A and B are shown apart, each in its own frame.
Chain A
Amino acid sequence: MSKDAILNAIRRGLRRGPLPADQRAMLESRLHAHPRHLVPSRAKGPRAELVSRFIANATREFATVARVPDMAAVPGAIADHLAANNLPTRFAMAPHPELFALPWDTRPMLKPEARRAEASDTVTLTHGFAGIAETGTLMLPGVPERPTTLNLLPEQAMVLLRASAIVGGFEDAWDQLRARHRDALTDGFMPRNVMFVTGPSRSADIEQTLELGAHGPRQLHILLVDDDAQAV
């Protein structure tokens, strides 16, 4: 059987048999503790600094960021953004409780449809689980309330992100997911899919020259809700 052949070849190379129980236990405990390594200083700092670093890094990677004072103001900010960019007001929206709870009736011309994205969608709106300051990256777990296709299929992807969900480094984002998500199938914390998204899709395959909008969204618009008193 290939599995045994491969494992035995590895052990032959390492000049040992299967690991003894005490060494296995040591490795198990490393997995269990999943220790952090050197975390760069750009992943650390006071709240306000992390939020402004997130914005600066996301913008540098060609995302656009609109700061919105509170949840109630989100539909207005979306309407303004769509109008300014001449985009359709009908869009696919993640079936997430915080998005359902937005006061959509304040902007009746907006037509959010709670579902996954289809190839015909021009605009989508999803909910950001976390923002990572060190690189301006969004963490978007693919769960029933946040279908993955919303991140990929439209020309224009919008993401609602609470400022309080901005963390310093990648490790902090994983800690949030470890603490707050339960996967029923594995009884662990990993959903089927987790995307780290840093700016809109791009390619430099043609003559090493950057062009935005390769296969994914041409524009990534982050609606950043200022719900963090320490970070405004």
Chain B
Amino acid sequence: MKVESPEFQQRARDALANAGLQKALGNFKQGFPAKRAAAVAGLPEFERLRDVGRDIKNHTLAHLDFYLETFARNVERAGGKVHWCSTADDARATVLEICRRANARTVTKGKSMISEELGINAHLEAHGMEPVETDLGEYILQLRDEPPSHIIAPAFHLNREDWEASFRHSHTELPADREFGERRDILAEARARLRAKFLAADVGITGANFLIAETGSSVIVTNEGNGDLTQTLPRVHIALASIEKVVPTLEDTCTLLRLLARSATGQDMSVYTTFSTGSRRAGDLDGPEEYHVVLVDNGRSAMMGTEFQEMLRCIRCAACMNHCPVYGAVGGHSYGWVYPGPMGSVLTPTLVGVDKAGHLPNASTFCGRCESVCPVKIPLPKMMRHWREREFERHLSPPVARQALGLWAWFAKRPTMYRAATRAGTWLLRRLARGRGRFASLPLAGGWTAGRDLPAPQGGTFMAEYLRRKRGGA
């Protein structure tokens, strides 16, 4: 997928002015946090489970080489094949080769963010195959040739009118004057269309929420059942997964499942949680004859041992973006790549480079809600700060910002000067505000004040107040 993160600022501005998107974001901000809160309230052990979840992931990462090898051995024992891929190119070539050997024409797909990251669809299309997204949200995005804007609700930015228009435009074999009275009519049309694709498919590609070392299983979690039809009906199943998806045992998985759905959609459990282990056994009446796991590194191993290692605990629940005021204002497309919101602001610079994605860790108010809801307690604000530091060290931030920071640092290192300057500034701003208490516009900061007022200082500087109170004045 093309990296458009460098245009974050322009995209965010466009998003704020996009009425359709803002309407969808309105639904979104009401929905997810309330559902999560209700689900968490129903499980008194939830907070303690977050600690357990964090510890399971930390244990796994500390022994990642061992668990990956164990996983691979157990997949092969169950008649599957594991393909180790260092880069996105390796992974694309591997998937294509498996599809070619299966003489595939139609390839159905379950929702997979790693597939977006790798650009699997474009690669298959370029080689004459038809990839078909089967998750309802991903399906309409494929019709509209748009990327997902959220990692679990990929098309939440679209409203019902958009769905109807896209279906009328793409499903031309159906009567043009058919009615979509209810949302269920849209659903029924997609179901019928995709049923035919499921039956025609030669290969099914899914992602994986977890890989289980103990049993050699890949696990998918869905509500629609599309992932299961994708991995059950075709002759070949490919599970695409990045290396940090592995966990040791089924019991470890149980704990993470208790965290996942509650954090994601606010369900106690998603409708379908399916464990796939190898290929069809003797006597089985259904299931794929070939089972492949494409194990993708694509930048993850380079995070090991760095200040970003903890990001590899992420179970992709989306709670961080569901609770992020920045994401809630500008939506997912502004972030310009696969992973939006706070987890994307940490992961994207790691995977595509801070030179391209430096804006993302800067687009944070550091309110800390993301960390407070993360089911595996990833310190997302701390890691965004690491990126800001690296960006500064590598001279990637804009000259004006650097000069301003340099000026600030000069004063900050000279406390007497700093206090004198803030005292003078406070006095000046108070005088200029002339009792109005706020500034609707400021010279040199027109961009900042276009969206909000600057409150004028009330009373003295912090140090002045502090000394006054210390003397017992308060």
Give A contacts to B, CB under 8 Å: 1-3, 5-7, 9-15, 18-19, 23-24, 27, 30-31, 34-38, 40-42, 57, 61, 95, 115-116, 119, 134-137, 142-144, 147-149, 151-153, 169-171, 174, 183-186, 188, 190-209, 211, 213-217
Contact = CB atoms under 8 A, between A and B. Distances in A.
B271 interface: yes
A197 B286 CA distance: 18
A24 B233 CA distance: 38
Nearest to A174: B250
Interface stretch (B133-141, B356-364, B377-385, B438-446): B133-141
Task: Pick from B79, B160, B194, B270 the residue with the most CB of A within 10 Å.
Answer: B270
B255 A2 contact: no
12 contacts: A1-B84, A23-B63, A34-B249, A37-B52, A40-B45, A61-B268, A148-B287, A151-B228, A184-B282, A192-B78, A198-B268, A202-B271
A193 B287 contact: yes
Contact of B274 (A38, A188, A195): A195
Interface string B264-286: 01011111111111111111111
B417 interface: no
A207 B183 contact: yes
Contact of B63 (A19, A135, A215): A19
A196 B250 CA distance: 13
B160 A201 contact: no
A215 B194 contact: yes
Interface string B221-242: 0011110110011000000000
B52 A194 contact: no
Given A2-B90, A185-B78, A209-B183, A195 B273 contact: yes
Contact of A200 (B271, B305, B309): B271
A200 B45 CA distance: 27
Contacts of B278: 185-186, 192
Interface residues of B, number: 104
Interface in B152-170: 153-156, 159-160, 163
Nearest to A151: B228
Contact of B136 (A119, A170, A200, A206): A206
B2 interface: no
B27 interface: yes
A137 B254 CA distance: 13
Interface in B45-103: 45, 48-49, 52, 56, 62-70, 72, 74, 77-79, 84-86, 90
A18 B64 CA distance: 11
A186 B254 contact: no
A151 B427 CA distance: 73
Nearest to B258: A40
B65 A11 contact: yes
Contacts of B134: 215
Nearest to B55: A37
A13 B318 CA distance: 27
B22 interface: no
A12 B155 CA distance: 39
Contacts of A116: 285-286
B63 to A, nearest CB: 6
Contacts of B295: 6
A44 to B, nearest CB: 11
A196 B251 contact: no
A190 B183 contact: no
A196 B274 contact: yes
B160 A190 contact: no
B424 interface: no
A198 B271 contact: yes
A205 B56 contact: no
A184 B77 CA distance: 11
Nearest to B255: A37
B223 to A, nearest CB: 5
Contact of B305 (A14, A42, A184, A199): A14
Interface in B276-311: 276-287, 295, 297, 301-306, 309
Contact of A6 (B258, B265, B283, B297): B297
B468 interface: no
A216 B225 contact: yes
B84 A2 contact: yes
A11 B301 CA distance: 9
A148 B232 contact: yes
Contact of A185 (B233, B258, B281): B281
Contacts of A170: 254, 257-258
Contacts of B254: 36-37, 169-171, 174
Contact of B86 (A2, A152, A217): A2
Given A148-B286, A184-B282, A35 B251 contact: yes
B317 interface: no
Contact of A211 (B45, B184, B228, B302): B184
Nearest to B28: A208
B155 A6 contact: no
A216 B287 contact: no
A152 B31 contact: no
A199 B216 CA distance: 27
Task: Pick from B43, B274, B276 the residue with the most CB of A within 10 Å.
Answer: B274
Given A143-B281, A206-B183, 10 more contacts: A23-B63, A31-B249, A34-B248, A147-B284, A147-B285, A190-B277, A192-B78, A193-B275, A193-B287, A205-B136
